[in-house]
Amino acid sequence: MPTSPLVSVRNVTKSFAAVTAVRGLDFAVARGEIFALLGPNGAGKTTCVRMLAGITRPDEGSIEFPAAPRSRLRLGYLPEERGLYPDQPVLRILEYFGCLNRMSREAARAGARAWLERLDLLDRATDRLQTLSKGNQQKVQFIAAVLHEPDWIILDEPFSGLDPLNQELFLRLIQELRRRGATILLSAHQMNLVEAVADQILVLDHGQAALRGTMAEIRQRASSREKIVFSLDGSTMDAALIAALARCPSLLRVESLPGGELAAWLAPGAALATALTEVCRVAALTAVNSSRVSLHEIFVEAVGKREEETR
């Protein structure tokens, strides 16, 4: 696992008028890793991304690139809001962005055609961008960000507009870029996709770090890590049953799942055997499985807890 930092963020604060978007933020992105920057709407993610891309500067603190000067890094930036030209042909747009990133026109054209073929868009190369679907426009935006083989890639909501098959395709492409040596900062709302590829995760809330670490480290620290999934014999999954189970002292909370199953989180310090005994007093168990707590569940718990603390 890479350890040398490509970028180091130290005590960074950024405000806009009376709003402090980022406050005293510290983290480092190691060279050659996929670093996920997450958070609810308004958490400061976009502000942080724009500072890392060099679009804006922090009011306080510093953003440094110890491994190489920022000017020597080839930056690939996929913004959340598309920055392409909707009335221009796809191939011409990609040639233009390649040339902006110091590629020759011939190399930009050849590279763009190769990427378009790989993403099943070569037959749309001469079509105007605005005639493409939202998902295909996102593919073009992605190509524009990586065409020049950047070594520092910032992807802000890269899965936007993509169907599940193309989301999986993008996951493979992101992993491939990392294998080629690129360092990738990924900001996305699709927690299951982030969980599949991220080496390090930082969750922002109100401009500050709410969670950080590897997925294993975050799961280990999460209070909701003890989770069981069970099925009940002949029971209707109604509100009364869930309420009765929620009153079990060993259970922190209970939720219904698709397919007639229930998920339960153990209370801190509760033993699994005790919890199952309490559940059996309410209904007959037919199956019990342990389940890893997902990044989505940890995110909701961590951000929700901070929201309650700030009220």
Work out the percent of the chain whose per-residue pLDDT is above 90: 59
Residue 2: pLDDT band (50, 70, 90) is: very low
The total of other beta-carbon atoms located within 10 Å of residue 1's CB is 8
CATH value at residue 236: 3.30.70.260
CA distances from 234 to 80, 282, 289 (A): 48, 12, 18
Tell me what the pLDDT averaged over the chain comes to. Answer: 88
Tell me the pTM: 0.81
The single residue listed with the structure tokens 């073929």 is 117
Query: 107 and 126 share a domain?
Result: yes
Is 265 domain-assigned? yes
Is 305 domain-assigned? no
DSSP letter assigned to residue 91: H
Is 92 domain-assigned? yes
Average pLDDT over residues 284-309: 72
pLDDT for position 229: 86
CA distance 268 to 275: 12
Query: 102 and 146 share a domain?
Result: yes
Query: 154 and 53 share a domain?
Result: yes
- With left for phi above 0 and alpha for psi between -120 and 50, is residue 64 left, alpha or beta? beta
Is 184 domain-assigned? yes
pLDDT for position 218: 83
Is 96 domain-assigned? yes
Query: 139 and 255 share a domain?
Result: no
Residues 6+ apart with CB under 8 A from 7: 28, 29, 52, 63, 64, 65, 152, 183
Model pLDDT for residues 131-181, shown as the tens digit of each residue: 999 999 999 999 999 999 999 999 999 999 999 999 999 999 999 999 999
pLDDT for position 139: 98
Model pLDDT for residues 101-114, shown as the tens digit of each residue: 999 999 999 999 99
Query: 136 and 165 share a domain?
Result: yes
Query: 211 and 256 share a domain?
Result: no
Residues 187-202 as b/e (b if ≥16 CB within 10 A, e otherwise) read bbbbbebbbebbbbbb
Query: 143 and 237 share a domain?
Result: no
Indicate whether 305 pLDDT > 70: no
CA distance 261 to 164: 24
Indicate whether 271 pLDDT > 90: no
Average pLDDT over residues 45-66: 94
Give the residue from 160, 194, 220 where a domain finishes. 220
Query: 62 and 147 share a domain?
Result: yes
Position with higher pLDDT, 68 vs 184: 184
Is 308 domain-assigned? no
CATH value at residue 13: 3.40.50.300
pLDDT for position 1: 46
Give the residue from 220, 250, 265 where a domain finishes. 220
Domain that includes residue 136, residue range: 5-220
Indicate whether 307 pLDDT > 60: no
pLDDT for position 123: 97
Query: 88 and 67 share a domain?
Result: yes
Closest to 155 (Cα-Cα) out of 198, 94, 217: 198
CA distance 292 to 295: 9
Indicate whether 23 pLDDT > 90: yes
Query: 248 and 124 share a domain?
Result: no
Query: 211 and 271 share a domain?
Result: no
Indicate whether 309 pLDDT > 70: no
CA distance 229 to 250: 14
Model pLDDT for residues 193-234, shown as the tens digit of each residue: 999 999 999 999 989 998 899 988 887 776 555 778 888 776
Name the percent of the chain in helix, strand, coil, to the closest 5: 40, 30, 35
Model pLDDT for residues 73-82, shown as the tens digit of each residue: 899 999 998 8
